[in-house]
A and B are shown apart, each in its own frame.
Chain A
Amino acid sequence: MEFLLYFGDVFTPFNFMLLLIGTVGGLILGATPGLSPTMAVALLIPFTFQLEPTQGLILLGAAYTSTVAGGAVSAILLKIPGAPANIATTLDGHTMAQKGKGAQALQLSFLASAVGGIFGVLLLIFLTPLLAKWALAFGPSHLFWLAILGVTIIGSLDSSSVVKGLLSGCIGLWLATIGFDDIMGAQRFIFHSSVSGGINIIPALIGLFAIPQVITMFAKGRTPFDAEVLSVERHPISKAFKEVFSRVRALTIGTITGSIIGLIPGVGGQIAGLVAYDQSRKMSPERDKFGTGHSEGVIAAESANNAMVGPSLVPLLTLSIPGSPTAAVLLGGLLIHGIFPGSDLFDNHPDVAWTFINSMLIGQILMCVFGLYIAGLAARVAQVPNAVMAAVVLGLAVFGSYSVQNSMGDVYIMAALGTGMYFLERFGLSAAPLVLGLILGPIAEANFVQGSMIANATSSIGSYFFTGTLNLLLIAIVVASVGYSIWMELRSRRYITKDDAVAKEEALS
């Protein structure tokens, strides 16, 4: 119950103001199609440079939580999911809005998001210290395999092609080796002066997530906004409360599914929402009503995608292994403030860790309260033309990248990586494993070198890295995740036809 000691820190005037700004800003950003939670958090990192670590994390955590929920606004009112996590919400949410139940759908979505989100954060609160203690038993070989596991699992599960997902991860791992090697004192792969100091994570993250989105907006050309914006009528909140808690089955399925999926590195909100929606439909006696504006569909999808948020941070805070692209961006935010997550985070910086987690708990409630009131405004923001959005994101990306080290080199790296990533994505490669490779690369290499030194002094490298229960377990998970994904691909359950691929790419962009 240590977390209770730090609850007061969330309510200091400045911290609470940041929580409010992050929540309201996140709701509006989340409602904007094309601005994913990962990209929103990446663009916000430079705004935290002037803040204390705790304050910066409160802002980023609030933005992460509320962008996921805010995506429901445009999903319901415009039939455009604000983020991939909200795809399942459009299925019943927009139909409800078409039937004049837009306000009800929004209320249900925010209430379900809050329930799922609070459960997810509670899971984070109670699981993290347990796992952190267990993580103390991890040596260099285990941490090396964990880093490799992080890249392979996201590479194999997040991408439409296992080979291309793993290839993306390899590119990220290679990018992480560019620059000066501190241990051996050698320069590696320095092909341009901009990369002589290595690739800074923050500009890279901004570039990899923001620039492809800017170019995607360019690709749409001069298309006018043609989605019909449905109006929001009045609906008593008390009725929505009753409705949410009377649909216990959908709420439970969504919350539990989202929490479990959140714990699995690399899976993420989009899948959480769709799986919960599908399971809820299969288990409902009213399954025929799904897709026709049924409240259970909205409740299941939204509770799942917010329940995923808290557990997705468990591997990050305990093992320094980000389980999702957004967690990877948050890791970047932590590192820039000199905070190294891992087993000793709760011993060295309990104030930072617990205040951050507590703020996410309070943020869920604020997100629900404000979400209900600013949905109309958020829907209007969602109609901002592509041209304006692209130019604003480009401007923020340049300012944000420059401000990390006041270096134009970082801006060039941001632009080059982002432009390259857009084209690589067109050919099936994926940003998420590349980012994980870039972030986990130094962790993998440092532990590999350290492990090699230990092995040279004690046994052989082979026996150090390939024996022991934990090593074998981690290797087995790496092999199983890759094997499972290959099996799934061979069974043609993936997006292998052009139409399916187009549909998926359009949904994701």
Chain B
Amino acid sequence: MTDLPRNQHILASGIVAAVGVWVAYVSYTAEPAAAFLFPRIISTVFVLLALWTFGKALLGRTTVGNGLTAEAMKNIAPGLIVALIFVFWAAEALGFYTASTITFFILLSLYDPAPHGKVKTWVKRLIITAGYLAVMYGLFGMLLNVFTPREIFF
């Protein structure tokens, strides 16, 4: 038995094993069978390794992977939520540059160790964000002409 977070390992390896079983099921049942010949070989190995890992997690014999501490989850959650909102909604809805700049400012404010109560801190964050927008727009919008779903504002 190890002192690694057992329940987390059971959950994570269980999800991977479930995906493995689904991949194997589809590979062995979908048609045309010839198109799934290679996936069948992979999925057989995939599901065996995944079930082995799951079994080891159930028995508490996992030796690798520290999982996530409560503090790490607490730190990650706000940033990850903001990042996912940016990727899955805001980038297309608000325009890449607008959404990216707002996200940058929020992430900077969330994770910057400077005290929130000082005006100087906020001015500094705004200046850094403006610099970010200028560099990104200059680089992608003007120099490299990268297409975005929408322009700088909508």
Contact = CB atoms under 8 A, between A and B. Distances in A.
B35 A181 contact: yes
Interface in A194-236: 214-215, 217-224
Nearest to B73: A219
Contact of B104 (A391, A423, A424, A444): A391
Nearest to B109: A387
Contacts of A47: 144
B130 interface: no
B83 A394 contact: yes
A188 B42 CA distance: 14
A46 to B, nearest CB: 7
A361 to B, nearest CB: 28
B149 A501 contact: no
Nearest to A449: B38
Interface in A222-263: 222-224
Contacts of A284: none
Contacts of B64: 159-161, 164, 428, 495-496, 501
B126 to A, nearest CB: 13
A143 B6 CA distance: 40
A50 B65 contact: no
Interface string B36-59: 111101110110011011001000
Given A219-B76, A505-B66, A427 B86 contact: no
Interface in A491-506: 495-496, 498, 501-502, 505
Interface string B102-141: 0110011011110000000000000010001000100010
Interface in A390-449: 390-392, 394-395, 398-399, 402-403, 406, 408, 411-412, 414-415, 419, 423-429, 444-445, 448-449
B107 A394 contact: yes
Contacts of B92: 408
B132 A395 contact: yes
Q: Is the interface of A mostly helix, strand, loop or mixed?
A: helix
A427 B12 contact: yes
A431 to B, nearest CB: 13
A398 B86 contact: yes
B36 A188 contact: yes
Contacts of A161: 63-65
Contacts of B113: 222-224, 385
A390 B37 CA distance: 42
A171 B3 contact: no
A218 B35 contact: no
B63 to A, nearest CB: 4
Interface in A153-203: 159-161, 163-164, 166-167, 170-171, 173-174, 177, 181, 183-186, 188-189
B54 to A, nearest CB: 10
A167 B136 contact: no
Q: How many residues of A sit at the interface, in one of the four size bands?
A: 35 or more
Interface in B3-58: 3-4, 8-9, 12-13, 16, 20, 23, 26, 30-32, 34-39, 41-43, 45-46, 49-50, 52-53, 56
Given A188-B30, A398-B96, A218 B45 contact: no
A502 B26 CA distance: 37
B132 A501 contact: no
B49 A218 contact: no
A359 interface: no
A306 interface: no
A428 B65 contact: yes
A425 B13 CA distance: 12
B23 A189 contact: yes
Nearest to B112: A387
A114 to B, nearest CB: 30
Contacts of B146: 46, 399, 402-403
B68 A426 contact: yes
A391 B56 CA distance: 37
A36 interface: no
A386 interface: yes
B60 interface: no
B95 interface: no
Contact of A411 (B4, B87, B110, B111): B87
Contacts of A498: 2-4, 66
Contacts of B112: 222, 385, 387
A171 B67 CA distance: 20
A427 B104 CA distance: 29
A4 interface: no
B101 to A, nearest CB: 9
B147 interface: yes
B30 to A, nearest CB: 7
Given A215-B76, A218-B78, 17 more contacts: A50-B144, A159-B64, A186-B31, A186-B36, A215-B80, A222-B112, A385-B113, A387-B107, A390-B79, A390-B107, A395-B100, A395-B103, A415-B84, A415-B87, A426-B66, A426-B67, A498-B2
7 contacts: A218-B80, A220-B111, A222-B112, A222-B113, A223-B113, A390-B107, A399-B96
Query: Which 9 A-B pairs give the minimum distances between C-beta atoms?
Result: A428-B65, A387-B111, A184-B35, A218-B79, A428-B64, A186-B35, A221-B75, A170-B46, A427-B65
Interface of A: 46-47, 49-50, 159-161, 163-164, 166-167, 170-171, 173-174, 177, 181, 183-186, 188-189, 214-215, 217-224, 385-388, 390-392, 394-395, 398-399, 402-403, 406, 408, 411-412, 414-415, 419, 423-429, 444-445, 448-449, 452, 495-496, 498, 501-502, 505
